Homo-oligomer: A and B are copies of this chain.
Amino acid sequence: MAAFGYRLIARDGRARLGEVTTAHGVIETPAFMPVGTVGTVKAMMPESVAATGARIILGNTYHLMLRPGAERVARMGGLHRFMNWPGPILTDSGGFQVMSLAKLRTMTEEGVTFQSHLDGSRHMLSPERSMEIQRLLDSNITMCLDECTAFPATPDEAAASMRLSMRWARRSRDAFVERPGYGLFGIVQGSVYPDLRAESAAALREIGFDGYAVGGLAVGEGQSEMFRILDVTTPLLPEDRPRYLMGVGKPADLVGGVMRGVDMFDCVMPTRSGRTGQAFTRRGTVNIRNARHQDDPRPLDEVCGCPACRQYSRAYLHHLAKAEEVLGLMLMTWHNLYYYQDLMRGLRQAIADRRLDQFAAEFAALQEAGDIDPL
Contact = CB atoms under 8 A, between A and B. Distances in A.
A294 B72 CA distance: 9
A183 interface: no
A43 interface: yes
A307 interface: yes
Interface in A57-85: 67-68, 72, 75-77, 82-84
Contacts of A42: 325-327
A40 interface: yes
A319 interface: yes
Contacts of A311: 84
**How many A residues touch the partner, as a band?**
20 to 34
Contacts of A297: 75-77
A330 interface: yes
Nearest to A83: B316
A316 B45 contact: no
A38 interface: yes
A329 B326 contact: yes
A319 B67 contact: yes
Interface in A80-94: 82-84
A354 interface: no
- Decide if the interface of chain A is mainly helix, strand, loop or mixed: loop
B43 A323 contact: no
B307 A68 contact: no
- How many monomers of this protein are in the complex? 2
B68 A294 contact: yes
Which of A40, A315, A325 has the most chain B CB atoms inside 10 A of its CB?
A40
Contact of A39 (B39, B44, B316): B316
Interface in A305-332: 307, 311-313, 315-316, 319-320, 322-323, 325-327, 329-330
A202 B325 CA distance: 41
A39 B45 CA distance: 21
A320 B84 CA distance: 13
Contacts of A307: 45
A307 to B, nearest CB: 7
B68 A325 contact: no
Interface string A285-312: 0000000001101000000000100011
Interface in A321-345: 322-323, 325-327, 329-330
Contacts of A45: 307, 327, 330
Contacts of A327: 40, 42-45
Given A82-B313, A82-B315, 7 more contacts: A39-B319, A40-B320, A43-B326, A45-B307, A45-B327, A67-B322, A326-B330
